[in-house]
Amino acid sequence: MARTVRVDLHCHTHKSSDSGNSYRSLIAACQRRNIDALAITDHNRIEGALEFAEQAPIQVIVGEEIKSREGEIIGLFIKDFIPPHLSPEETVDEIKRQGGVVYVPHPFDRVRRSVIKRDALMRIAPTVDALEVLNGRIHIEKDNLEAVRFADERGLLKGAGSDAHIAWEVGRAGIEMPEFSDANSFKEALRSATVFGKAAHPAVHLASTFQKYRKRYLPGWTRI
């Protein structure tokens, strides 16, 4: 029988403009919350995921949260940087070209401006592998429940993650699933995954804003 692992599918490092997570703090957070695997999904960056994968004592999924022209799409198990501002279809094609998993984060968050537009989601839905049905930074329960409904109606796999921009958030939301080794075994294991967790305190958004301004006005402050 395959071992069950706890996975946070949405996390940022200090390479994201609004995150201060050092690699050391991410490792410590995963140890505190018994997280076995972590997806690093920095905004329009991939080097943090690649660097973290080289030194982390846990399994790391290399990903990127890509801002397409019509909202954000995550690529998991990718190898190379995917530029922002492509069409949603071009973004999906590039993730697939790399053998990655197309994962749509926070699809119905009514507050976030970066959320994928509904028309775009409808267009790419046949090529989406998984939908984020619990995001640790969504505080309106109906928005996560709408994602569950959308995934169920279209037979999409379901994922979850903390969307951590500060270390305290890491592992507060995620999935328990059979262990996996690559994109294909991940998708197969995700079929029997169980979502766990809950939203973090709304104050985490203030922390992200602080990090953004700190980086803008105090360049060179980040740590590894």
Q: Could you read off the pLDDT of 62-100 as tens digits, one per residue? A: 999 999 999 999 999 999 999 999 999 999 999 999 999
Residue type, 69: R
Share of the chain above pLDDT 70, in %: 88
Strands 130-135 and 101-104: parallel
pLDDT at 224: 44
Residue type, 26: L
φ, ψ for residue 93, nearest 5 deg: -60, -40
Residue 210 banded pLDDT, cuts 50, 70, 90: very low
CATH number, span 4-217: 3.20.20.140
- Per domain, the residue ranges of the chain are 4-217
Q: Is the pTM of this model over 0.85?
A: yes
Residue type, 190: L
Q: Interhelix angle for 23-32 vs 47-55, to 10°?
A: 60
